[in-house]
Amino acid sequence: MSALFQINDLAVSFPGRDQTVYAVNGLSLAVEAGEWLGVVGESGSGKSVSLLASLQLLSATSRIDRGQVWFDGRDLLRLKRRPLREILGRQIGVIFQNLANGLDPSMRVGQQVMEPMLAHAICTKPEARRRALDLLTELGLSDPERQFERYPFELSGGMRQRAMMAVALAAEPALLIADEPTTALDTTVQLQVLSVLQEACRRRQMTVIMVTHDLGVATNVCDRVVVMYGGQVMENAEIDTFIQASVHPYTQGLKGSMIPLNGTHAPIQAIEGSAEIFHQVPRGCPFVARCPVAFERCHTERPRLLSLADGHEAACHRVEEATARVG
């Protein structure tokens, strides 16, 4: 099966007055039709930057140094503004991370849900209104007629998030990219919103890429997980393998940092240090400064993404050496 959406060797940087920040450093990933892919990692690992760059949605201060992004047989990075706009919203929907910026404060909610349908000439205005009301109802907004006429600032955080989801789903896109879709919500509302989003996307057989720093979110809704650090893939695994048999030290560190919810009192094993800002492309493994099992080779040679089993890959010299000894 060929990938619906594929990023090949993407590199993104942010040139500054004194020095450049290298945010994405050779990222490659793919998602199949109908799959839910979770892209996880700490803040600063390059998750959002890589996905926004792939859609040409980053600010003018960014620079795409190399790479390809394939969707429907076309490289999105080579498209001009007009053909790209025909794809965004119609074939690819996006739920943005920032609730404050995700909706236009000067437009009524209903108008914003209708806009993708009208902009892409999917239906007439009366039909777009009916569809928008149905979508607001489906996504759990009570009294949808009233919410349709309100402005975003009149809605609660959870209601605004549902409205943003409605805008992203309005044109029935084949692919949805959800960038930290519940990060600003409290836990109870987060679970409700995720459940509604999951049901709506499954009903439409939609392909979803979910960017999140929350492993609990990824393991509950995704079919596969890509772990990122330093703008690179550290591990790629089906969800059962990710939960039971992940091997990369960074992945294990992320899992060890989670608060257990099973009643145990095991101490939390935090990862030492914090996510780095790279002012030059990492020569070796980007995680080397924080890795508890790093050795000399990790500083000087970038680990290749090693295939361990069907659908399971990891980029780690320790894992490579252990695999070689077993083989």
Of residues 251, 252, 234, the one with CA closest to residue 302: 234
The CATH superfamily of 3-91+173-261+268-326 is P-loop containing nucleotide triphosphate hydrolases (3.40.50.300)
Dist. CA 125–CA 117, nearest whole Å: 9
Element (H, E) at 86: helix 81-87
Dist. CA 168–CA 170, nearest whole Å: 6
Q: Report the number of secondary-structure helices (H) and strands (E) in the chain.
A: 13, 12
pLDDT by residue (tens digit) across 131-171? 999 999 999 999 999 999 999 999 988 899 999 999 999 99
User: Considering the entire predicted model, what is its pTM?
Assistant: 0.93
**b or e along 138-147 (b: 16 or more beta carbons within 10 Å of the residue's beta carbon)?**
bbbbeebeeb
Report the largest interatomic distance among the alpha carbons of the chain, rounded to a whole angstrom.
Answer: 67
Of residues 255, 191, 263, 206, the one with CA closest to residue 41: 255
Listed by start position, the domains of the chain span 3-91+173-261+268-326
| Residue with token string 């919500």 | 185
Q: Which tokens hold the place of 120? A: 């892409």
pLDDT by residue (tens digit) across 195-222? 999 999 999 999 999 999 888 889 989 9
pLDDT at 150: 96
pLDDT by residue (tens digit) across 261-293? 555 666 777 888 888 999 999 999 999 999 999
Are 222 and 210 in contact by the 8 Å Cβ rule? The answer is yes
Query: Residues 12-18: what's their mean pLDDT?
Result: 94
